[in-house]
Amino acid sequence: MVEDRMVWLNGDFIPWENATVHIMSHSFGRGSAIFEVISFYDTARGPAVFRLEAHIDRLFRSAELLDMALPFSKDDLCDAVAGTVKRNELNKGFVKVVCFYPEISFEIIPSSSQLSVSIFALDPEQDLGAKGDPFTEGTTAYVSDWRKLDPRTVPIEAKAAANYLNGMVARLEVQKKGFEHAIMLDTQGFIAEGGTESAFVVKDGCLLTPSTGTVLKSITRMSILEVAQEAGIECIEKQLKPELLVEAEEIFLSSTPFKVLPVKQINDRKLPDAPGPVARKIAELLNAIVAGNVDRFANWLYIVE
Ligand SMILES: Cc1ncc(COP(=O)(O)O)c(C=O)c1O
């Protein structure tokens, strides 16, 4: 049960039910929280956190973009993530790191610059009753009428809570139409990404994904590109026209929780063979890496001692 989990807050472990903030706190009222969602896996050497240093680097980049001062070092936070997994006696699951302004604040600028840092670890099967295998089940997607946040309006590279209303409205829109995931275009009309996922298409055997600038610098996206190159799959990052969604042999979404999520229907177009060969190859390699079976990528795993 999720309620039994212990939460790391500013260096101490506290019970789940005590991990609360006031409704008038700045981060609740204005969405000024930054966060990371990080996966960890069961390996022969114990639980291993996937690309922990890259996630913590991105957290620091989010803080920098929003002029926030993190009160812990990168090493402290890596230790704290590993410590939270250990304290909760978990072998696989997710960690969420949330940094927020707890002070009561009536203004747009927080009343105090003191950030709090919290870390949650859970196993979605044990704690949330999650079932099934997203890779084999796949998903359905629809191109939302909502456009991805324009990078000239807010720093979209920051993983900030307030940016997520964008993905929420897109997802709500497509779910009302009977689809599971949204694919959003950027304000210039090129493919951007999902609400909380990166987007990939395969055309003539080549793996294509939108270049960064209008999309989040996703850790899974970056990992997939590296793994695909290793597997000899040609990869191109560039602006992608939405027509590609009609022509592509394969379409898949990616993110920390499920890595590769094949799209089996996009709008009224069915892709009955999803997952296709490229998605399969990448998923196979990623599965081997997160299980700790690929020496070349051993440094992607942070072993929880
Ligand atoms: C907008 C957006 N794109 C892509 C992703 C995938 O990022 P990552 O692979 O780092 O989980 C996320 C994750 O939440 C996201 O919010």
pLDDT in tens, 179-205: 999 999 999 999 999 999 999 999 999
Number of domains in the chain: 2
Nearest CA to ligand 1 atom 1: 196
Query: Both 178 and 207 in a single domain?
Result: yes
pLDDT at 212: 95
Nearest CA to ligand 1 atom 7: 218
Q: Which residues lie across from 35 on neighbouring strands?
A: 98
Tell how far the Cα of 140 is from the centroid of ligand 1, in angstroms: 18
Query: Both 110 and 174 in a single domain?
Result: no
pLDDT at 10: 98
pLDDT at 305: 85
Is the shortest distance between the CB of 214 and ligand 1 below 6 Å?
A: no
Across 53-60, average pLDDT: 98
Is the shortest distance between the CB of 255 and ligand 1 below 6 Å?
A: yes
> CB atoms < 10 A from the CB of 133, how many?
8
Across 16-38, average pLDDT: 97
> Please, which residues have CB within 8 angstroms of residue 21's CB and are 6 or more apart in sequence?
27, 28, 100, 102
Is the shortest distance between the CB of 198 and ligand 1 below 6 Å?
A: yes
Nearest CA to ligand 1 atom 14: 196
Is the shortest distance between the CB of 207 and ligand 1 below 6 Å?
A: no
What CATH number is associated with residue 118?
3.30.470.10
Is the shortest distance between the CB of 193 and ligand 1 below 6 Å?
A: yes
Residue 305 is assigned to a structural domain of this protein: no
Query: Both 145 and 275 in a single domain?
Result: yes
> pLDDT tier at 54 (50, 70, 90 boundaries)?
very high
Question: Are 245 and 274 spatial neighbours (Cβ–Cβ below 8 Å)?
Answer: no
> pLDDT tier at 285 (50, 70, 90 boundaries)?
very high
Which of 144, 220, 225, 259 should be mutated for ligand 1, with most atoms under 8 A from CB? 220
Across 129-149, average pLDDT: 96
Residue 297 is assigned to a structural domain of this protein: no
> Which percentage of the chain shows pLDDT scores above 70?
100
Domain extent for 160: 134-290
Nearest CA to ligand 1 atom 8: 218
Across 238-259, average pLDDT: 97
Residue 66 is assigned to a structural domain of this protein: yes
Residue 60 is assigned to a structural domain of this protein: yes
Query: Both 99 and 224 in a single domain?
Result: no
pLDDT tens string 74-95: 999 999 999 999 999 999 999 9
Is the shortest distance between the CB of 157 and ligand 1 below 6 Å?
A: no
Query: Both 149 and 276 in a single domain?
Result: yes
| Residue 267 backbone zone (phi > 0: left; psi -120 to 50: alpha; other: beta) | left
pLDDT at 176: 98
Residue 296 is assigned to a structural domain of this protein: no
pLDDT at 50: 98
What CATH number is associated with residue 170?
3.20.10.10
> Please, which residues have CB within 8 angstroms of residue 213's CB and are 6 or more apart in sequence?
151
Across 213-221, average pLDDT: 96
Which of 256, 259, 282 should be mutated for ligand 1, with most atoms under 8 A from CB? 256
- Which ligand 1 atom is the nearest neighbour of the CA of 156? 1
pLDDT at 236: 98
Whether residue 304 has pLDDT greater than 90: yes
Q: Which residues lie across from 25 on neighbouring strands?
A: 104
> pLDDT tier at 1 (50, 70, 90 boundaries)?
confident
